[in-house]
Structure 1
Amino acid sequence: MNGSTARRATIRDVAEQAKVSISTVSHAFSGSRPISQATKDRVFRAAAELGYDANPSARSLRTGRSGIVGLVLRPRFALSGTPDRAETFNRLVGSVATEMLRRKVGLIHVPDLHDPSVSSVPMDGCIVAHPYGADEALAELRHRGLPVVTIEEDPDQPEFTWAVRLDYTTVVTALLDHLRDQGASSTALLTGTEGNAWNRRSQQTYLAWCERHGHAARTELLSEGLGIDDAAAVIRPLLASSERPDAVVVATSDFAALTAEIAADQGLRVPGDLMIAALTDTEHSRSAIPPITAMDLNHELLAEEAVELMLARLAGAQTPAEPVVIAPTLRVRASTQRSGEAG
């Protein structure tokens, strides 16, 4: 490593010499996770031998890197309405920020890639959260040659493996099985309209489940951008119909809570007459009467894995063979418990 033209040591070089993973080297220097003293000593010894400098400011001066990672939150309605309605994405953004702070890396929120004030801010890489199918922002970042990691997959580009995605199929299937086991014979899906993996994979799983079990599929579009009155105009006639389903799975938790309110107004007992579940879990589902069964998207773990993947990519890690896959958590509550205890 001597000489003015020698290549500077990277975190990957340190990992190889110390015979540990890149993430272990990162944790050894940041202190973000407990590591044995023997492993730390091995990492620090390898870094000293290679002349590796873990100081972010020093690295920025010699490599031209800024020490800043961007975050693009793609769902159009993620932050619309009141703060409590945005709880799902508040959890995600806060978790990404916390993970970056733990690793001593800067974070910038990017509302519009084409905003001149944003384009002048240097980013070493960018995390794109919940992209749409054939996502334009993701395509633009990749066109610029910027290292990108996605939280959730672009559903039209499953081959892009710098991604942390959610296993919707397993959890949505478990939810539908649970509703069937509790006596549901007709389950309707009130799906969102955003063209992301959350909506697409959940709907695909629902349709496949109905076909597999010989159930008639029944879907209604319930846009995430609707106000309460417009959403109620979709839900109310569904529950008043002579062919009313005996279970409904609602995309967003606020509209699931609204469904419970409308059911009560119409004299329907939840869960006796109607079981209700949501594909997100927020205070709306937790505090509804009765509390609503919901799919927790596990945003804290999503954020942790995405930051880890981004730092590995910036450190020169090889393209992963597969994306990181995380399971959402099914929170079974009273709204779907016709027998037994909620879990």
Structure 2
Amino acid sequence: MDGRTAKRATTIRDVAERARVSISTVSHAFSGSRPISQATRDRIFRAAAELGYDPNPSARSLRTGRSGIIGLILRPRFALVGTPDRAETFNRLVGSVATEMLRRKVGLIHVPDLHDPSVASVPMDGCIVAHPYGADEVLTELLRRGVPAVTIEEDPERPEFTWAVRLDYATAVSALLDHLRDQGAGDIALLTGTEDNAWNRRTRETYLAWCERHGRTARTEPLSEGLSAEGAAAVIRPLLAGPERPAAVVVATSDFAAITAEVAAAQGLRVPDDLMIAALTDSEHSRLSDPPITAMDLNHEGLAEQAVELMLTRLAGAATPTEAVVVTPALRLRPSTQRTTGPDEHR
């Protein structure tokens, strides 16, 4: 050392403080991803020039040692199992994250296995973990390595980890159950997935709480996301047979919801007059079923936008947020839950 103190690299946070705006506003001004008033834009650019801040990721990486690349890890083990159409939900998510990264002029790398030695040599400034499990081991490893992480959906065992974007399942699932009740469904069964993530945990918790509030008997049946079509049908058939069948069935995945409709038709049940069907994901399976199936759209475009924004904000040095960012799923009401005739009196 020659006794001189190394000058700290100027960050986007410094520019935000100088321009008296938020870090996200600075990010939007440089990326052009959202409209910013000309006066604010001029103030930001002037502050950046005064501080010597270069918004170009490649040039900035030479000074800061950063790569300008963000990692993405998709956690659900069954996300890519089966035919491509079955993976539509996750294709939407990955594509949306990639699009947001391109808009922000940041690189994206898919990380299939964090423990693969080749991954250790890939420079990434931070990593987005999508749909983590409870006490997720990948998130644990990233935190151990000191890699800045953001999750799409919360780790349900880490409520204190607020660098997360989560879905408001309570509102969407309660609205779905209210709709089924208003359509005359007295007995509503939930075919819940078995993956230990927020999607399964929170939807199941909301269903059980709703049943308790309304004095309904809860009926849940595990339906593993890893089942084949025939395996799923084998679980569904006995549920729909006999006098104790429910008036409505909420199925975790849209492909199994479509199979539920096929099983119902084979047993001579009319959808929705004899049986209402809804899904907790939306895809081609729910949209093209006969009749089209009511579904909860997980709003992956919104999740991706907020997650990328949160990651860039974290890398810019922002303080830890007090709570996770919340995105609301969209409920798509379709003919499978809209009765044209009155329900049976015993339902």
**What is aligned with 2:48?**
47
For 1:61-72, list aligned pairs within 5 A: 61-72=62-73
Percentage identity across aligned positions? 81
Displacement of 1:339 in angstroms is 4.8
Superposed, 1:1-343 pairs within 5 Å as: 5-339=6-340
Q: Match of 1:146, SS?
A: coil
Deviation of the 1:34 alpha carbon: 2.0
**1:197-236, Cα deviation, whole Å (9 max, x unpaired):** 0000000111111111111111111000110010000011
User: In the alignment, residue 253 of structure 2 is paired with which amino acid?
Assistant: T
Structure 1: 4+ residue segments shifted above 6 A: none
Which one-letter code corresponds to 1:203 in the other structure? Answer: R
Gaps of 5+ in 1: none
| SS across alignment from 1:113 | coil
For residues 235-293 of structure 1, give each alpha carbon's deviation from its aligned partner in whole angstroms, at most 9, with x where no partner exists. Answer: 11111132100100000000001101111111101000000000000011011111100
Unaligned runs of 5+ in 2: 342-347
Deviation at 1:4, TM superposition (A): 6.7
* Deviations 1:122-152 (CA, angstroms, capped at 9, x unpaired): 1100000000000000000000000000000
Is the 8 Å Cα contact of residues 189 and 250 (structure 1) preserved in structure 2? yes
Q: Equivalents in 2 of 1:106, 1:286: separation in Å?
A: 33
CA deviation digits over 1:290-343, x for unaligned, max 9?
110000000000000000000000000010011100110111110000159xxx
Paired amino acid for 1:34:
P
Deviations along 1:53-97, one digit per CA (max 9) or x if unpaired, are: 112112111111111000000000011111110000000000000
SS, match of residue 69 in structure 1: strand
Q: Secondary structure at the match of 1:284?
A: helix
Question: Counterpart of 2:36 in structure 1: which amino acid?
Answer: I
Alignment TM-score, normalising by the size of structure 1 = 0.97
TM-score (norm 2): 0.96
Q: Is the 8 A contact 2:9 2:63 kept in 1?
A: no
Letter in 2 for 1:309: L
Letter in 2 for 1:194: E
Say how many residue pairs are matched. Answer: 338
The 1-side partners of 2:12 and 2:251 are apart by 45
CA distance in 2, matches of 1:326, 1:55: 30
